[in-house]
Amino acid sequence: KDTPRCFGTVHARTPQYLLAGRWTPPCCLRALRETARHVARELEAAGVRYWLEGGSLLGAARLGDIIPWDYDVDLGIYREDAGKCRWLAAVAAEGRPVEDSEGFLWEKAAEGEFYRVHYSHSNRLHVDLWPFYPRGGVMTKDTWLGHPQDVEFPESFLRPLVPVAFAGFTAMAPNNARAFLELKFGPGAIENPEYPNPAVKRLVR
């Protein structure tokens, strides 16, 4: 926790280690798993409804873990529940990042209306928390970063949420992971892995 992560700024969703023909450093994967487990535990204890999003759900569906070349973890949450979590409430009240009792840093993301939980002040490996809210039976949110998979979806995927194995613990997920992922990534998303930005770097099978 006292040292930076093993890679620098991610450009075009492509971390430097991919361009070097490598996957996520093992130490960084361990720290990501620890951060994801910690955040999920805090959300569950507070009664915040959350689910695995995007590439993190892909990892759970494929191998029950973080994708070996991923660099963060994505969770969706119900926006109306955010205030139940003392750390998210503290971020909102104080208007600045807040370090919790185990050294994880909770903050409002600079890029928009979502939250980010870092492994520590020094190590910026993180979990992104995306606040969604229902509108006419469809889950939407206020910040869209232009990723192809970043789309609205029926709330029925979250009623109910179901447990899945992920990164060494049990996380919550949409009730039809395959349909959810194919809505976001297209047919065969689980069986056909790709790096985050195939236009920059393609996965050689």
pTM: 0.97
- Res. 135 pLDDT band, cuts 50 70 90: very high
Please, which pLDDT band fits residue 141 given cuts at 50, 70 and 90?
very high
Where helices occur in the chain by DSSP H, the ranges are: 16-19, 26-46, 54-63, 86-94, 177-185
> How deeply is 117 buried, as exposed, middle or buried, from its count of CB atoms within 10 A (0-12, 13-18, 19+)?
buried
High-pLDDT (> 70) share of the chain, %: 100
pLDDT, one tens digit per residue, over 148-195 is 899 999 999 999 999 999 999 999 999 999 999 999 999 999 999 999
pLDDT band at 23 (very low <50, low <70, confident <90, very high): very high
Of the candidates 129, 167, 135, 170, the one whose C-alpha atom is nearest the C-alpha of residue 153 is 135
Residue-range domain boundaries for the chain:
16-185
pLDDT at 147: 87
DSSP secondary structure string for all residues of 56-112: HHHHHHHHSS--TT--EEEEEEEGGGGGGSHHHHHHHHHSS-EE-TTS-EEEE-TTS
| CATH ID of 16-185, from 3.30.70, 3.30.460, 2.40.160, 3.30.310 | 3.30.460
| Percentage of the chain exceeding pLDDT 90 | 96
